[in-house]
Amino acid sequence: MVTVTPRLPKPGETLRATSFDVGWGGKGANQAVAALRSSRLRSQTDHSPASAPVRMIGAVGADQFGPAMLNSLEADGMDVQGVKVIEGAQTGTAVIMVEEGTGENCILFTPGANFALTPSDALVMSGDYGDLVLFQLETPLDVVLYHIRRARASGAQVILNPAPAQALPLDIYRDITHLILNQSEAELLAHSFAPALADPSDLDALAARFIELGVRYVVVTLGAEGAFFKSAALQKMGMPGIRQAAPKVKVVDTTGAGDTFVGAYAVRVAAAGVDATDATMTRAMVFAQKAASKATQNKGAQSSIPWLNEISTEI
C-alpha cells in the first residue's frame, strides 16, 4: 500500500497525501519477478529456452490478497507451486510512504503468512534447488539458514539479500556465494561481529569483513551513488573493489528498485555459472543497475519492474 506525499511527516504531524495505490510487492516476490522479467521479453511469459525459469517458494494467506497475488505472478510466467496458501493467515503487507520530490521511501512491513513457514514446509515445496537460490529475510531466520546450507551442499550458488537486516550466525557466511546489501545493512551486519570501522565509508574494509568469513562476492548498493563490488579473488590479490556509478535518470519512485537490482543480478549470475570471472560479475552488477534505474522511473513496486526489452543491455 503506497502513499505518495509532498514530504515525509514528522512525529505527531498529519499531512494531506498526493495519491494512494495498492499493488503487489514483498522482497522475495519482487526479486523473483525482477529475475523473471530481466531474462525475457514482455511478450515472452513462458519458460522457453531463451528465458530463465524462476520458481518462487513462500507463503500467502487464504485472504483477499493471496490468491490474487499468485494469479498476478503466474500471469508473468512464474512457477508458484512452491507458494503455500495458509488458512487463517494474512498475506504479508507493507505500508510505504514515498516522498514526491525525491522518490525516496520508508516502509513498514507486516510478515503475516511469511512467518508461518517452517523448515519442513519449505523443504517439501523447494524440491530441486536448481542452479541458484536467492534468499531474503522476510521469512523466519531458521527457515532461511536451513535452506542456505542445503542449497549450497547441493552445489547451487546462493545469493543472500539480508533485508530486513539482522545479525546472522558467523558460520553461515561460508555458504553464501553472493552477498547483496545496502550500506546501512552492511554496517549493521558487520558491526554485529566486529568493531565499528574507523571510516564507515571504507567499502573495501567493509566488504573484507564478509569475505574473510567465506563470502565469495560482496555487492553493496549505494542508491543514486551507484554500487560497489568486491570478490574474494580481488581481496586475495590485495586489490580494491570496483565502484560503478549509477545511470543518471529522473527518479519518480524508488520503491522496488533495490529488489529489481537483486533479481536482475541473480539472473545474470545464473547465466554465467559457477566459473564466472570478476569481469562477468561486474557486468552483472552494471546490468542490475540499469534495471533498477529503469524501475525508479515509474511508480509502484512490481508494476515498475522492467522487462528485458525495456532495459538497456549495452554494457
180-201 pLDDT, tens digit each: 999 999 999 999 998 888 787 8
Residue 314 lies in a domain: no
CATH code for the domain in which residue 32 is found? 3.40.1190.20
Considering 63, 175, 259, 278, which one is annotated as catalytic?
259
Q: How far apart are CA 205 and CA 198, in angstroms?
A: 10
Q: Give the CA dihedral 109, 14, 258, 186, nearest 10 degrees.
A: -80
What local confidence, expressed as pLDDT, does residue 123 receive?
63
Q: How far apart are CA 65 and CA 79, in angstroms?
A: 18
Instruction: Calculate the average pLDDT of the chain.
Output: 90
What local confidence, expressed as pLDDT, does residue 49 receive?
55
Residue 212 lies in a domain: yes
Run of H or E including 271:
helix 257-272
Residue 206 lies in a domain: yes
Q: Which structural domain range is residue 202 located in?
A: 2-304
3-state secondary structure of 264: helix
Active site residue 259: yes
Q: Give per-residue pLDDT as tens, 20-56.
A: 988 898 999 999 999 999 998 876 666 555 578 899 9
- Is residue 228 very low, low, confident or very high in pLDDT (cuts 50, 70, 90)? very high
Sorted by sequence, the CB contacts under 8 Å of residue 36 that are 6+ apart come out as 51, 52, 54, 76, 77, 78, 263, 267
Residue 309 lies in a domain: no
Q: How far apart are CA 171 and CA 152, in angstroms?
A: 13
**Numbered residues of the known binding site for substrate:** 26-30, 138, 259
Residue 140 lies in a domain: yes
Residue 67 lies in a domain: yes
- Is residue 126 very low, low, confident or very high in pLDDT (cuts 50, 70, 90)? low
110: phi then psi, degrees, rounded to nearest 5:
-110, 115
Count how many domains the chain has: 1
What local confidence, expressed as pLDDT, does residue 128 receive?
78
**Numbered residues of the known binding site for K(+):** 253, 255, 295, 298, 300, 304
